[in-house]
Amino acid sequence: MLRTFRALSMAAPSTVLPPSKIPLFTTVAAFREWREAARRANQSVGYIPTMGALHDGHMSLVRRSLQENDLTVLSIFVNPAQFAPHEDLATYPRTLPRDLDIINAERFEHSGTQIRTPSAVFLPSVNEMYPSGIHQDPAVQKGTFIEVKGYGEQMEGKSRPTFFRGVATVVIKLFNAIEPTNAYFGQKDIQQCLILKRLSRDLLLSHPDPAHLHIVPTARDPSDNLALSSRNAYLSAEGRSVAPTLYRALKVAEQSWNEGLPKSVCLERAQALVQEVAGQVRLDYIEFNDSESLEPLADSRCREDDSPVLLSGAMFVGKTRLIDNIVLGDMNKL
């Protein structure tokens, strides 16, 4: 109880936080005091970065962390640096009271006797995360930013050219603040996961090192396999009914790939399936990419071995852009 009171009392005076049974931190300085206590106690810290609007996909990462760590920390921060000027920063769902209720309700029975629950939530302000200020337009941004050259221009980067610069920058800031033993990311954002692994390796990070940045399989709606996403809340009833088309198209491409057909034929079959609902959706892309270089495979490439290949896609349902992917091959080799 002392730790909870101290955390809340160190929030910025103007911050009004919803009630929470676990500590809430709004400043790096306050969180680092809590983190140092965990270090002195030799406790491992698992970490899940989020932008809020939590769903069971996020909580699957929390459960994995609760299973593998003494303490589990989430952050909730809607990062302006990863939204282009025309994207949905202002309307991105912000549901903090509901999010905290979900976090506070999570419990995991460890080793049959110990009950583990989330340990802390980091809720920084934009000013806390960007002391030099931040503008949504990268052309006028000032301050320190991180770019993973050569790996952010493919796949998602073709449609969102500044996205991974914003992601890499904020994640490094969060890693520096949290200093996690382990960090957990969802496979739905596979390119992000692999770029962050490379960033961790290239910058010689120790908290976490690349081996402790974990990619957790995508959580899906059990009724139709739609990948869980905060943006699903934007979908109308009609849009929700056609949203699983992207995953079905990826599965068609996967089946064709496993039959030994060339990439070009696999893509034609997947695109044909999307075309069946063309009046309701708009395909952005479906592509096969090498999991190491992230470059697209040659059009004639067929299945050759079990080295991982990324089969990913994006599709608009109305104004809502959905993404999904399948890893072809051994996920453990990523």
Any idea which residues carry the catalytic annotation? 58
Distance CA 102, CA 234 (A): 20
Scan for tokens 């073709």, then name that residue: 158
For residues 155 and 290, the answer to whether their CB atoms sit within 8 Å is: no
Is residue 320 within a helix (H) or strand (E), and if so which, with residue range? strand 320-328
Distance CA 303, CA 310 (A): 12
Distance CA 105, CA 148 (A): 37
Pairing assessment for the beta strands 114-116 and 108-110 based on DSSP bridges: antiparallel
Distances (CA, A) of 198 to 109, 120, 195, 218, 295: 33, 27, 5, 20, 15
Is residue 74 within a helix (H) or strand (E), and if so which, with residue range? strand 71-76
Of 81, 82, 74, the C-alpha closest to 57 is: 74
